[in-house]
Amino acid sequence: MSEAPVEADDAFAGVAGQPQLVAQLRAASFAPVHAYLLVGPAGAGTAAAAVAFAAALLCPAAGCGTCRDCRLALAGGHPDAVTFAPEGAFLRIADAEEIIRVAVRSPIEGRRKVLVLADFHRVQRVGPALLKTIEEPPESTVFVVLADNVPPELVTIASRCVRIDVAPVPAPTLMALLVAEGVEETRAATAATAAGGNLDRARLLVSDSGLDRRRRAWAGVPESLDGSGAAVAVVAAELLELVEEAAGPLRRAHAEELAELEARVASTGERGSGRGRLEASQRRALRRHRTDELRFGLATLAGRYREALVRPGADPGPVLTGLDAITAASVALTRNPNETLLLQALLLRLPRLSTP
Ligand SMILES: [Zn+2]
C-alpha cells in the first residue's frame, strides 16, 4: 500500500478540525444506508462534511477529490447532489413537497442521488409529512440530514437515520487553523476562545473589533442586576443592541457578496442570477449569527456564576439556580424564541453578584 499523503486529492480535505467525523463518513461512503443525521453546528463542520460526503457517495472511487463527480459535488454543482435549506424560520409544507419530489426521482447522471437537508432542527410541523420518504427512499437515494440539535419534532425522523454527533472543534485546533490561514496569534487565540467550537464563527470574529466589549458587557451583567424588573429591561435591551451591532462584519461581507453577484450579472448579462437564493442564504447566516452571539453571551455569563461558586463563603443555592436558568435559555435559543422575552425572563432569575 502506498504511504503517500492523500489530503490534497481527497473529497474530505475541506472538512477542517474533525478527523473523527471524516473517518466515520469515509467508512460509511463504501456501503451507505438510506439516511444519516449529522448533529452539531454547521460552522463546526457539519455543512462541509455533508458536501464532502455527497462527493464521496457519487464518486466512483469513494471520494478521490479530483474526478468530475467530486469536483462538481464539492463546488455545489452536481445534479445528483441536492441541498435543501429552509428559506424561512421554519420548514413549510411546500419545502417538504419539494424534498419528496426530488427524493423519488431517479439520479440524473449516476447510480445515486444525495439529498442534503440543512437546518433540520427547524423542521417543526412538516416532520410527519417527510417521515415516510426519509425512512424508505428509493434505493438510489441517500439522505444527509443536518441539525444543530434534535428538538422533539425531529426525534422520529432521527430514529430512522444513522446519527453522528459532531463535536465542537476544540479551541486549540481552531486557533491552529486560523494561524495557518495567516491570522496573528493573539488575535487567533481570542477568536478561537469565543467561537464556541465553530470555525465559521472563529473566522468572522478575527475581524471583529467589538468582541472584547461584548464579552465585558455580558460578564458585567451580574453586577447590574438589583432584583428589579426595570434593571432587567435596561440590561436586556443593551445586550440585544450589542448582538445587533455584532452582525456588522457579517452584513458587510454580505453586501460585498451581493455586489460581486451584481457585477457579474452586469458584465455577463446573466439572467436568473441566483440573487434570491443568495439573499435567502444570507438571511439564514444572519439568524445563525444572532443565535451564536447570544450563546456566546450566555456562556460568558455562565462563566461568571461558575467563578462565584468556588469563592469562599459563597451560598451555592441561588448561583446553581442561575446556572440552570442560563442552560435552559441556551437550549431555548434553538427554537427561534422572542429574544427580548427570553433574556428578560432569564435575568429575573439570576442572582446579583458583587465584583470579585
Ligand atoms: Zn472522485
With cell 495567516, the residue in question is 182
In tens, the pLDDT along 303-329 reads 999 998 888 887 889 899 999 999 999
Confidence of residue 5 (pLDDT cuts 50, 70, 90): very low
Q: Name the grid cell of 203.
A: 473566522
CA 9 – ligand 1 centroid, Å: 9
Alpha-carbon torsion (233, 238, 243, 248), positive or negative: positive
Q: What is the CATH number of domain 7-165?
A: 3.40.50.300
8 A C-beta contact, residue 40 and residue 167: yes
Out of 94-103, 275-284, 337-346, pick the least confident: 275-284
Is the confidence at residue 354, as pLDDT, over 90?
Answer: no
In tens, the pLDDT along 32-52 reads 999 999 999 778 889 999 999
Q: Tell me, what's the pLDDT at 9? A: 73
How much is the average pLDDT of 85-108? Answer: 90
How much is the average pLDDT of 205-220? Answer: 92
Is the confidence at residue 67, as pLDDT, over 80?
Answer: yes
8 A C-beta contact, residue 74 and residue 51: yes
Environment of ion ligand 1 (residues, CB < 5 A): 59, 64, 67, 70
8 A C-beta contact, residue 55 and residue 182: no
Is the confidence at residue 71, as pLDDT, over 60?
Answer: yes
CA 32 – ligand 1 centroid, Å: 16
CA 58 – ligand 1 centroid, Å: 7
CA 201 – ligand 1 centroid, Å: 30
CA 69 – ligand 1 centroid, Å: 6
Give backbone dihedrals phi and psi of 182, rounded to 5 degrees, phi first.
Answer: 100, 10
CA 26 – ligand 1 centroid, Å: 13
Paired with 143 in beta bridges are 35, 115
Percent of the chain with pLDDT over 70: 96
CA 108 – ligand 1 centroid, Å: 17
**Alpha helix segments (H runs only) across 269-315:** 275-309
